[in-house]
């Protein structure tokens, strides 16, 4: 089978079918946990759009959808932890059950910032769904309530995740060949 962008990829970690099965499981768990309630899904642009689109259709309780965009400063190897909201919520989340939908938790700094940001808006609750997590890279403790998969400490693309805005439409999740993002001393800037 030919995989899109095949020459740029080192290995496929999760196929389209494996991702679909995992997202269905997460959706079923979320639907059980929030039975009788509605959820304010907050997707993080741009990486989480694919996961959000699939996850919301696997959830059987009512949802509202809002999006935020965050910029973080610093390089891949030394994220400063300084984050800024580039696009804020369009609707209030006061008294709502917020479920943040993120693509990948790397250092955890972005998510940490976002959880605090949401909590300050007086929601009924705040939880987190993340498609991927790189546990070896976490610098702060972040609670991910609904996790798709753990991945090794390598640069991954596909299923919404990019490098330099490419690969987001790859249906699987794959490790990018290091030579694509240049030499060993210049890892990608996130
Ligand atoms: P954190 O603040 O270090 O946890 O960074 C989280 C953000 O960095 C994610 O939302 C992604 O946009 C980006 N990121 C981290 N690791 C990767 C990766 O392996 N591939 C693509 N994007 C990544």
Please report, for the chain, the start and end positions of each structural domain, with discontinuous segments joined by +. 17-151
- The CATH code of domain 17-151 reads 3.40.50.2020
**Among 36, 40, 68, which residue's Cα sits nearest to residue 56?**
40
Does residue 5 register a pLDDT over 80? yes
Provide the 8-state DSSP code for 163: B
Does residue 77 register a pLDDT over 50? no
- In this structure, the residue with its CA closest to atom 15 of ligand 1 is 106
- Token output for 68: 């935020």
For residue 136, how many other CB atoms are within 10 A of its CB? 10
- Per-residue pLDDT at 188: 59
Highest mean pLDDT among 17-21, 78-82, 186-190: 17-21
106 is catalytic: yes
The whole-model pTM stands at 0.93
133 lines ligand 1 (CB under 6 A): no
Query: If you measure from the C-alpha of residue 26 to the centroid of ligand 1, how many angstroms do you get, rounded to a whole number?
Result: 21
User: Largest alpha-carbon pair distance within the chain?
Assistant: 52
pLDDT single digits (tens) 141-177: 989 999 999 999 999 999 999 999 999 999 999 999 9
Atom of ligand 1 lying closest to residue 108 CA? 4
3 state DSSP class of 112: helix
**Among 152, 160, 118, which residue's Cα sits nearest to residue 19?**
160
Asked if 164 and 188 count as a contact pair (C-beta separation under 8 A), the reply is yes
Query: If you measure from the C-alpha of residue 37 to the centroid of ligand 1, how many angstroms do you get, rounded to a whole number?
Result: 30
Distance, CA of 147 to CA of 130 (rounded, Å): 5
């Amino acid at each position: 089978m030919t995989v899109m962008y095949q020459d740029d990829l080192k290995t496929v970690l999760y196929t389209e079918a494996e991702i679909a099965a995992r997202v269905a499981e997460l959706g079923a768990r979320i639907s059980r946990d929030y039975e009788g309630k509605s959820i304010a899904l907050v997707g993080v642009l741009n990486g989480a759009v694919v996961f959000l689109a699939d996850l919301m259709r696997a959830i059987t309780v009512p949802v509202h959808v809002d999006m935020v965009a965050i910029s973080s400063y610093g390089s891949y190897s030394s994220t400063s932890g300084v984050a800024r909201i580039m696009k804020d919520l369009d609707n209030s989340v006061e008294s709502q059950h917020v479920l943040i939908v993120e693509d990948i938790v790397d250092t955890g700094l972005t998510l940490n910032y976002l959880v605090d940001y949401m909590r300050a808006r007086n929601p009924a609750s705040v939880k987190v769904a993340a498609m991927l997590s790189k546990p070896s890279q976490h610098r702060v403790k972040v609670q991910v309530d609904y996790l798709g998969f753990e991945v090794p400490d390598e640069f991954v693309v596909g299923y919404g995740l990019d490098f330099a805005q490419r690969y987001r439409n790859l249906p699987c999740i794959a490790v990018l060949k290091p030579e694509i993002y240049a030499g060993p001393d210049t890892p990608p800037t996130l």
